[in-house]
Amino acid sequence: MIFGRTERGKAPVEPVTLKILVAGGFGVGKTTLVGAVSEIKPLRTEELLTEAGRPVDDTSGVEGKHTTTVAMDFGRITLREDLVLYIFGTPGQDRFWFLWDELATGALGAVVLADTRRLEDCFAAVDYFERRSIPFVVGVNCFEGASRYPVEAVRQALDLDSAVPVVLCDARGRESVKQVLIEVVKHAMTYAAGRRHTLTT
């Protein structure tokens, strides 16, 4: 960089920043997903699960989980020189849902992370984004030992609109998560273009 310009004489690119939410049920892998793809050390607001929370925190299927997000996870990834995503992971338990409206403000789109062993846990997230007309992609987190189902079977089980993308992913893998985020951006752009067309016709 020389006097605010690159060595090739091009002005530095001011990247477009977009906000993406990651939602889903308790223990579905939201914190793992944000951490896997973030190019900065992710901000986490995790607390230990306690005996007091046992009656309301259903850990069946995720018995090895010992912490929970109580506010949000935050990470960042640069997709291109001119495109940066800010990723906000939402808390999964019902008692923290009041935070979702704040986190959703200004979001381009969302990932609803799903676990086929507890598919019903992501119904609330799907409903939330549908009601607020926030475009979203369903990412099926392929846990080891979990049954694999065709994408269309998951779509039918969640009663999703045919336009909503459903993708298989591994929340631990950077490239896998990156592809999910790219799918969110593409879907959000298509969704916005469709709304503009509807408004002008």
pLDDT tens per residue, range 129-165 = 999 999 999 999 998 888 889 999 999 999 999 999 9
Q: Specify the amino acid at residue 171.
A: A
Which run of H or E residues covers position 110? strand 109-114
pTM: 0.79
Q: Whose CA is closest to 139, among 29, 44, 42, 18?
A: 29
- Note the pLDDT tens digit of each residue in 84-108: 999 999 886 666 667 888 889 999 9
CB 59 within 8 A of CB 65: yes
Q: What one-character-per-residue DSSP string does 66-91 give?
A: -EEEEEEEEEEEEEETTEEEEEEEPP
Domain 16-200: which CATH number of 1.10.530.10, 3.90.1170.50, 3.40.50.300, 3.40.50.1100: 3.40.50.300
Alpha-carbon distances, residue 64 vs 102, 143, 169 (angstroms): 30, 13, 21
pLDDT band of residue 3 (cuts 50, 70, 90) is very low
3-state secondary structure of 157: helix
CB atoms within 10 A of CB 8: 5
Residue 52: per-residue pLDDT: 46
Give long-range contacts, CB 8 A cutoff, 24+ apart: 8-14: 13/81, 13/82, 14/82
- Residue 2, pLDDT > 50, answer no
Is residue 112 pLDDT above 80, yes or no?
Answer: yes
> What does the pLDDT look like over 40-53, one tens digit per residue?
998 876 555 445 44
